[in-house]
Amino acid sequence: MAWFTDRHYFLLAVTFYGLSTIYSVFLWRKGFRRDEWVNYILLAGGVAFHTLAMARRGMTLQSCPVNNLYEATTFLLWALGLASLVYALMPRFKFICAFAAPVLFTIGIFALMPSLDPPRGPKPEFSGALRSLHAATILQSYGAFGLAAVAATMFLMQQHDLKFHKIRAVLSLLPSIQRLEIIATRLVLVGFVLLTIGLVAGQQLPRKAGAPYFSDAKVIWSALLWLVYLEALVARRFFGRSPRRFAAGVIAAFLFLLLTFWFTNLLSALHHP
């Protein structure tokens, strides 16, 4: 139907994320000792509608749909949701959907605010291979950092249960804390590499003649984020930072990303010429 726009598809996706979040509450209360295929199907339905929304918007723009805050946010959420589904296919990682769903639902509700998706001009903001590479890798790095924060949260939960000898730690379907630590570290590394590529490719964004690339508010913010994750990786690998402190730092870094992404994007002259 002609009136069924990409935003309607995204609204359906957020609805499925909400249903998955509600079901996740029951999984948390049962200590993840129940079959989680229902939750996986709900999240997969959300990602399917989310993909339709992005595809419809992309066909309209004839380019990667990352031209404003709404589109950037939905791209970020899509990357996180898709990555969650891939990991959840592994028997020991089906539970990851129960942690990703609340993140997708909460940010999805925020993304539906009309002010984030103002009427666009006749020409998309990003064009060209390097500019599309910048948008794709930056947003995929955010998805990797989000999954790393999810794994870090599960690590802290498992460590807390083991420390206080809770039976839930034995019966839970969560993987071992050693495996969670490895997963969180590798996801941070993947996100860091993607962020590095995105920052380099971002130099092709259109800007005023003579305006330094690294003087833009969003670029400064991204460089700060790059340094935060670099410090976490180096401290863990070479200076023996404890897994608990590393996990807490990964969670704090992603919360910082979520809370400041929108503000710096609005201040950016590169993203709002």
pLDDT digits (tens, 9 = 90+) for 55-78: 888 777 666 666 666 777 787 788
- Is residue 66 within 8 A of residue 139, CB to CB? The reply is yes
> pTM value?
0.61
pLDDT at 131: 62
Give the whole-angstrom CA distance, residue 87 versus residue 50: 18
10 Å CB burial of residue 206 (0-12, 13-18, 19+) is exposed
Buried b (16+ CB within 10 A) or exposed e, 235-264: ebeeeebebbebbebbbebbeebbeebbeb
Name, in order, each residue with C-beta under 8 angstroms of 26's C-beta and a sequence gap of 6 or more: 34
pLDDT at 170: 45
pLDDT at 164: 60
Question: What Å distances lie between residue 52 and 5, 47, 55, 78, 203, CA to CA?
Answer: 10, 9, 5, 11, 30
- Is residue 143 within 8 A of residue 75, CB to CB? The reply is no
If we measure between CA atoms, which residue out of 194, 184, 198 comes closest to residue 233? 184
Give the whole-angstrom CA distance, residue 52 versus residue 55: 5
Per-residue pLDDT tens, the chain, 273 aa: give them: 455 788 889 999 999 999 988 887 776 655 555 556 788 899 999 999 999 988 888 777 666 666 666 777 787 788 888 888 887 787 666 677 877 887 788 778 877 877 667 765 544 444 445 566 676 677 778 877 887 888 888 788 777 766 666 555 444 545 567 777 887 888 899 889 989 988 887 776 666 655 666 777 888 898 999 999 999 999 998 988 998 999 999 999 999 988 887 778 777 766 555
